[in-house]
Copies of this chain bind each other. A is one copy, B any other.
Amino acid sequence: MTGTQGTNLDQWYGHYAARTAGLAASEVRALFAVASRPEVVSLAGGMPYVSALPQQLIETAVERTVSEQGAVALQYGSGQGVPRLREQILEVMALEGIHGSVDDVVVTTGSQHALELLSKLFLDPGDVVIAEGPSYVTAITVFRSFQAETVHSPMDADGLEPQALRETIARVKAEGKRIKFLYLIPSFQNPMGVTLTWERRVEILEIARSEGILVLEDNPYGLLYFDQAPPPAIRSLDEDGVVYLGTFSKTLAPGLRVGWAIAPHAIREKLVLANEAAILSPSSFSQIVISEYMETADWRGQIDTFRGVYRERRDAMLAALQEHLPSMSWTVPNGGFYVWLTMPEHLDSKAMLPRAVKELVAYTPGTAFYADGNGRRNMRLSFCYPKPDFIREGIRRLATVINGELALLGEFSQTAPLPIVPAERDVLPPFAG
């Protein structure tokens, strides 16, 4: 509000929709700027290591796209997506235990846009989405952007806890609130890295069915397992009560922005209309590049390559944590991108972040993954992007910071009790006005 040229004053301040009041920059956003400095080891972002994708594979796909399908690739397309690609998506889905029809698939601009469109279709102000606690930061952002409340339900090393979920649902319903989705990342969860067991998938689906709650199953990491495949997708158990979200962002490349939803018939038709209103049609060019890639490259073998890359990095991170931070606790992911670290009481990962960046290491504070201010003792450590040596060095630096904090805490605790800071909404203030 101090801009000398009025640029910080917003003459349209009183004109925004009510939903815009909840629009705020996430911590992850601010961190991307920090993480981009080359001297910082960033364990913060969730960028896949696209350099593990041989350039020749993409070259072949784009050359074929232009030379053989140029007129289609450059043109508007169907709001539901390119039919041939939707067939190929079913081949990917079969690996997750899902067998559907090409009619069930809606191609979206990354699975993020499926989340946005489904939120637009279903969420009224005041509605509740039940999500794992912690959960994916930009899902929480999307739900909030439609004035819905995210209520977290607890997890353990086997994922969402069914009995706790029953209690969460009962509590929300007792408050007279309407639950629209149960939003889950069952395999190699973001940010915890844990996987929902098969028994729990069955039980949680049964809970959702009996409570009349639509399940959003978000599965970006399921094929990136390190030892054995995770259990089949929840969607493999139920065609009518689950909307499944998939993406090429982690098994191929996020820069193409192609994901998909598999949805029950009536929802799918509305999703296509919402997609058309929002963007007319998803990029024909990106879709055909991916279709040509799947046609010409050993895409299953490439996923194996990614698995090997990420397994090595996961191993490096776990070994470094064991070496440098043996008194902390952390999750042991069998796939995906993330480890979830829990620090001792009274440490605050958000408050500590500036000191970490000074030590040239970055992470995402746990509070970013909760809508309710929880997660102060936690941080998400991503092993997807930095090479193993950098991961080891990053964890070493992180240990320096945490051990320094603990030493300081020890000194203070001999003189006075630590102040307890009340949890606050863990976002930066909204921009402008």
Residues on B with C-beta less than 8 A from A229 are: none
Residues on B with C-beta less than 8 A from A256 are: 74, 283, 285
Could you give, for residues 121-143 of chain A, a 1 whenever the CB lies within 8 Å of some chain B CB and a 0 otherwise? 11110010000000000100110
Given A12-B267, A270-B432, A47–B19 Cβ distance below 8 Å? Answer: no
Could you give, for residues 272-311 of chain A, a 1 whenever the CB lies within 8 Å of some chain B CB and a 0 otherwise? 0110111111111110010000000000000000000000
Q: Do residues B138 and A277 form an inter-chain contact, with CB atoms below 8 A?
A: yes
Residues on B with C-beta less than 8 A from A76 are: 47, 249, 254-255
Residues on B with C-beta less than 8 A from A158 are: none
> In the bound complex, what is the Cα–Cα distance between A335 and B211 (angstroms)?
57
- Checking B8, B58, B241 against A70 with a beta-carbon cut-off of 8 angstroms, the contacting residue is B58
- Checking B18, B127, B264 against A12 with a beta-carbon cut-off of 8 angstroms, the contacting residue is B264
A380 close to chain B: CB less than 8 A: no
Residues on B with C-beta less than 8 A from A281 are: 257
- Checking B66, B249, B282 against A58 with a beta-carbon cut-off of 8 angstroms, the contacting residue is B66
Residues on B with C-beta less than 8 A from A65 are: 62
Residues on B with C-beta less than 8 A from A277 are: 23, 116, 138, 141-142, 145
Q: Do residues A10 and B274 form an inter-chain contact, with CB atoms below 8 A?
A: no
Q: Do residues A121 and B16 form an inter-chain contact, with CB atoms below 8 A?
A: yes
A324 to chain B, nearest CB (A): 29
> In the bound complex, what is the Cα–Cα distance between A84 and B324 (angstroms)?
42
Residues on B with C-beta less than 8 A from A237 are: none
Q: Is the interface of A mostly helix, strand, loop or mixed?
A: helix
> In the bound complex, what is the Cα–Cα distance between A19 and B273 (angstroms)?
13
Closest chain B residue, CB of each to CB of A282: B257
Q: Give the size of the chain A interface in residues (CB under 8 angstroms).
A: 88
Given A59-B63, A75-B253, A277-B145, A180–B15 Cβ distance below 8 Å? Answer: yes
- Checking B17, B249, B433 against A266 with a beta-carbon cut-off of 8 angstroms, the contacting residue is B433
Q: Do residues A74 and B50 form an inter-chain contact, with CB atoms below 8 A?
A: yes
A95 close to chain B: CB less than 8 A: no
How many copies the complex holds: the figure is 2
Residues on B with C-beta less than 8 A from A254 are: 74-76, 280
Q: Do residues B138 and A276 form an inter-chain contact, with CB atoms below 8 A?
A: yes
Those of A173-216 within 8 Å (CB) of chain B:
180, 214
Residues on B with C-beta less than 8 A from A25 are: 273
Given A145-B277, A279-B112, A269–B431 Cβ distance below 8 Å? Answer: yes
Given A15-B122, A62-B62, A255–B273 Cβ distance below 8 Å? Answer: no
A57 to chain B, nearest CB (A): 10
> In the bound complex, what is the Cα–Cα distance between A112 and B281 (angstroms)?
10
> In the bound complex, what is the Cα–Cα distance between A278 and B257 (angstroms)?
12
- Checking B9, B253, B279 against A110 with a beta-carbon cut-off of 8 angstroms, the contacting residue is B279
- Checking B18, B29, B63, B255 against A124 with a beta-carbon cut-off of 8 angstroms, the contacting residue is B18
A69 to chain B, nearest CB (A): 10
12 A–B contacts from the bound complex (CB under 8 Å): A10-B265, A11-B240, A12-B214, A12-B267, A15-B180, A17-B146, A19-B120, A50-B75, A58-B66, A62-B66, A116-B279, A257-B279
